[in-house]
């Protein structure tokens, strides 16, 4: 059985270990023996686990060292003694003696390419954020809330906004817990809770197959397929009328000089099936379907000559997708309900995100603008890039550029993009979305 971070998303251990870039959800440590670590050395691991649990959860991979330039790319793994030292029955109690409430985590020891690694799988806090209960000089401060930042550091939450976000996340988790308890009382049969996701999954598979029968993606083709599926929390096949779907889609689309999501005029040609409003423009490889259940399915093909995809195209696509989805679901009334946005890029093996050329960096008036990428990425090493965002429509709308930037980061990490690219992302996305 595959191990999971959320008990829903299977972990690809090989992809995780070879990702080669640290983030707010991933940290690498060189090979070590827990039994031989000093107390401050052990406390450093406690700090990373504590910070990730207070943020989004994540992974600490032990057995990957840094090369001469500081990149985590020395895959030594652990010898038998080192791997055995990361015994959950010993490590777990030590970590949770320094944390209140205890962190929900496991230690996995996957075998990848013949080498053994230790991976701390840390889950985000369920109801209350974790505070350091016992300090360790130089590494842990008692009474401090640690957080994980986008520059891959684990530090105390010292800014008012950071503490505010911790409180807001705790309140949201408690509301969701109360909601689950109430649903459990009203619907005693737990199998009923699984049916909505299965029904949504069947609808998405039907839409995907419909598109692929008309636009198959042959093996070795110089193109990729982008797919976004947005899943509401509950399944009702007749929740919306076609008039409501069309009105919401028209209100959601914002006309721009460039359109990577839906171009001007494409929405006007939408037609109704028995179960969905479908947008399938002729002479294009775009396909969008909004079901009466509230499910959104979008896919398109994008050319990648010589296995290269312009990074600016992906940035614009991500920005438009998050912008459209936030407006659509706000119009449909999903303001405070949690949405699940599943994103897939298929046929990405050996794909490179390319920098923008000087000619492409010019506006219609000829004035230069900032480039999205300063240099080409590394080749992607996996056949499919997958990620998931879970947000309310209100949350998406209030921080569209931040969520689009996170989506780009989730994708860009598979291409080992330079960290400098992520720093300018929110500003680039906001500039693009504001350009009418």
CA nearest to 254, candidates 267, 245, 242, 243: 267
Mean pLDDT over 298-302 rounds to 94
Q: Are 288 and 279 in contact (CB under 8 A)?
A: yes
Give the model confidence (pLDDT) of 111-141 as tens digits: 999 999 999 999 999 888 999 999 998 899 9
Please tell me the predicted confidence (pLDDT) of residue 137: 86
Give the model confidence (pLDDT) of 54-66 as tens digits: 998 999 999 999 9
| Gap between the Cα atoms of 415 and 224, Å rounded | 15
| Gap between the Cα atoms of 200 and 229, Å rounded | 10
Greater confidence (420 vs 381) lies with 381
Q: Out of 234-248, 297-311, 411-425, which region has the weakest mean confidence (pLDDT)?
A: 411-425
| Gap between the Cα atoms of 5 and 26, Å rounded | 12
β-sheet bridge partners, residue 352: 308
DSSP string, 124-193: PPSSS--EE-S-BTTTB-TT--EEE-TTS-EEE--SHHHHHHHHHHHHHHHHHHHHHHHHHHH---THHH
Q: Are 232 and 337 in contact (CB under 8 A)?
A: yes
Mean pLDDT over 348-371 rounds to 60
CA nearest to 125, candidates 183, 54, 27: 54
β-sheet bridge partners, residue 277: 272, 290
Please tell me the predicted confidence (pLDDT) of residue 436: 47
**Per-residue pLDDT at 202 exceeds 50:** yes
Percent with pLDDT over 90 in the chain: 50
Neighbour tally for 344: CB within 10 Å: 18
Mean pLDDT over 30-57 rounds to 94
pLDDT, averaged across the chain? 85
Q: Out of 57-71, 184-198, 202-216, 388-402, which region has the weakest mean confidence (pLDDT)?
A: 184-198
pTM higher than the cut 0.85: no
| Gap between the Cα atoms of 180 and 357, Å rounded | 51
Percent with pLDDT over 70 in the chain: 88
Residue 374 confidence class, pLDDT cut points 50, 70, 90: low
Among all chains, which residue has been given the structure tokens 């640290």? 22
**Per-residue pLDDT at 193 exceeds 80:** no
Residue 434 confidence class, pLDDT cut points 50, 70, 90: confident
Please tell me the predicted confidence (pLDDT) of residue 183: 63
**Per-residue pLDDT at 5 exceeds 50:** no
């Amino acid at each position: 059985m595959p191990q999971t971070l959320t008990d829903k998303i299977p972990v690809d251990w090989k992809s995780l270990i070879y990702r080669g870039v640290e983030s707010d959800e991933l940290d690498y440590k060189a090979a070590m023996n827990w039994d031989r670590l000093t107390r401050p050395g052990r406390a450093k691991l406690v700090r990373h686990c504590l910070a990730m649990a207070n943020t989004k959860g994540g992974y600490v991979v032990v057995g990957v060292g840094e090369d001469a330039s500081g990149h985590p790319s020395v895959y030594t793994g652990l010898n038998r003694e080192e791997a055995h030292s990361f015994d959950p029955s010993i490590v777990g109690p030590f970590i949770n003696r320094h944390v209140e409430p205890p962190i929900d985590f496991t230690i996995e020891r996957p075998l990848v390419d013949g080498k053994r690694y230790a991976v701390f799988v840390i889950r985000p806090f369920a109801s209350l954020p974790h505070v350091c209960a016992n300090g360790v000089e130089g590494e842990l401060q008692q009474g401090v809330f640690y957080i994980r930042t986008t520059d891959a550091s684990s530090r105390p939450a010292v800014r008012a906004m950071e503490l505010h976000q911790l409180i807001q996340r705790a309140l949201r988790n408690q509301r969701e817990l109360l909601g689950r308890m109430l649903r459990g009382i009203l619907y005693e049969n737990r199998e009923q809770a699984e049916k909505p996701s299965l029904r949504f999954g069947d609808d998405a598979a039907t839409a995907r197959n419909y598109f692929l029968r008309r636009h198959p993606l042959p093996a070795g083709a110089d193109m990729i397929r982008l797919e976004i599926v947005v899943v509401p929390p509950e399944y009702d096949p007749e929740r919306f009328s076609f008039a409501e779907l069309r009105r919401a889609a028209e209100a959601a689309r914002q006309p721009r000089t460039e359109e990577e999501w839906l171009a001007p005029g494409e929405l006007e040609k939408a037609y109704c099936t028995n179960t969905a409003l479908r947008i399938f423009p002729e002479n294009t490889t775009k396909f969008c379907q909004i079901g009466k259940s509230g499910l959104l399915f979008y896919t398109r093909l994008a050319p990648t000559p010589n296995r290269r995809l312009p990074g600016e195209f992906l940035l614009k696509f991500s920005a438009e997708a998050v912008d459209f989805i936030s407006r659509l679901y706000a119009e449909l009334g999903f303001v405070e309900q949690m949405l699940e946005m599943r994103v897939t890029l298929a046929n990405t093996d050996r794909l490179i995100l390319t920098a923008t050329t000087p000619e492409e960096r010019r506006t219609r008036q000829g004035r230069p603008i900032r480039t999205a990428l300063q240099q080409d990425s590394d080749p992607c090493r996996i056949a499919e890039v997958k990620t998931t965002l879970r947000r309310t429509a209100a949350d998406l709308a209030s921080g569209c550029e931040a969520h689009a930037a996170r989506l780009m980061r989730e994708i860009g990490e598979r291409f080992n993009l330079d960290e400098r690219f992520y720093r300018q992302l929110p500003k680039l996305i906001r500039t693009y979305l504001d350009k009418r």
